[in-house]
Amino acid sequence: MTKIDDLKTPHFPSWCPGCGNLNIWSSFKNAAVQEGWDNGNSAIVAGIGCHGHIVNFMKMNSFEGLHGRALPVATGVKMVNHRLNVFVFTGDGDCFGEGGNHFIHACRRNHDLTVLIHDNTLYALTTGQTSPLSEHGFKTKSTPQGNPDEPFNPLALAIISGATFVARAYAGDMPKLTEIIVAANKHKGLSLIDILQPCVTFNKVCTHGYYRENTYYLEPDYDPTNKQKALDRAFEFGEKKIPLGIFYKSDKPSYEEQIPQIKDKPLVEMPLERASAVELFKKYT
Ligand code: SF4
């Protein structure tokens, strides 16, 4: 059984007061206590950005990768020990800018990872520049006249790339976010949660108030197994109020389940065979 104190580190969060990262961190800890995730059975991987500081505030096996490289690191962790729950914390800039290519292929392969996007629609750590999820016309330090680019639709991109669990949550609704994190982890395959995360310092548009007024949950009878419907609802963003909840779910074997060499036990539990470089060279040439 995991207790909240088991997850504590000596470091107190350095995020700005009111930042949505605090809600995501707390919701994740609530989910960990509920599900018994701890240092013995779970690992977290983060990218670069304000979100990446989470590795300092969670007592769990953790790794902060290079910018945009959280997914390849997490993929490696999962391949070496697929019994671990592996959580990826990444920002909208980190995941869809520097890491865009990794995202598409992680979805395509359906790696069994839970990916939490801290989506504040800009690069916050570098003091507020346009990211691939910034709205067209959005004014930031890097686009003072307004963003000339159109944003990616992260949910639609995940669905068409092959992710098998796709959801959107709002950081300020912690009970619901906790519930979605738990559901995403229970799903076998790539689970994406796009979390609307207010950056109270650099984003004066997407505030807590804005999200409280402009979001709603998908209807109780919404069917997440209908791919076309899921895409239609994913594109509602920006036109009307923003839907939240689990948009898409499908049952498909994860990448790890299809690798016969790790079917019986994880790579990390297999004996190491030592061989000299000369022997290996002879064997494989
Ligand atoms: Fe949060 Fe923005 Fe402050 Fe970063 S700059 S800690 S995202 S409020």
Q: How many angstroms does the Cα of residue 50 sit away from the middle of ligand 1?
A: 6
- Name the nearest CA neighbour of 166 among 142, 149, 184, 148: 184
C-beta 124 within 6 A of ligand 1: yes
Mutation pick for ligand 1 pocket among 57, 120, 121 (CB with most ligand atoms within 8 Å): 120
Question: Which ligand 1 atom lies nearest to the CA of residue 118?
Answer: 7
- Tell me what pLDDT residue 240 has: 74
Write the residue with the smallest CA distance to atom 3 of ligand 1. 16
What ranges do the domains of the chain cover?
4-258
Contacts for 2 with CB less than 8 Å, ≥ 6 apart: 32, 33, 35, 36, 37, 38
Residue 200 Cα: closest atom of ligand 1:
8
pLDDT of res. 238:
67
pLDDT for 125-180, tens place per residue?
A: 999 999 999 999 999 999 999 999 999 999 999 999 999 999 999 999 999 999 99
Low-confidence ranges of the chain (pLDDT < 50): none
Atom 6 in ligand 1: which residue has the minimum CA distance?
Answer: 15
pLDDT at 156: 98
Task: Return d(Cα 112, Cα 187) in angstroms, integer.
Answer: 8
Nearest CA to ligand 1 atom 1: 19
Q: Can you give the pLDDT at residue 277?
A: 87
Ligand 1 centroid to Cα of residue 19, in Å, is 6
200 lines ligand 1 (CB under 6 A): yes
Give pLDDT tens digits for 52-79: 999 999 999 999 999 999 999 999 999 9
121 lines ligand 1 (CB under 6 A): no
Domain 4-258 in CATH 3.40.50.970? The answer is yes
61-81 core/surface letters (b: 16 or more CB in 10 A; e: else)? bbebbebbbbbbbbbebbbeb
CA of 124 to the centre of ligand 1 (A): 6
Residue 15 Cα to ligand 1 midpoint, Å, equals 6
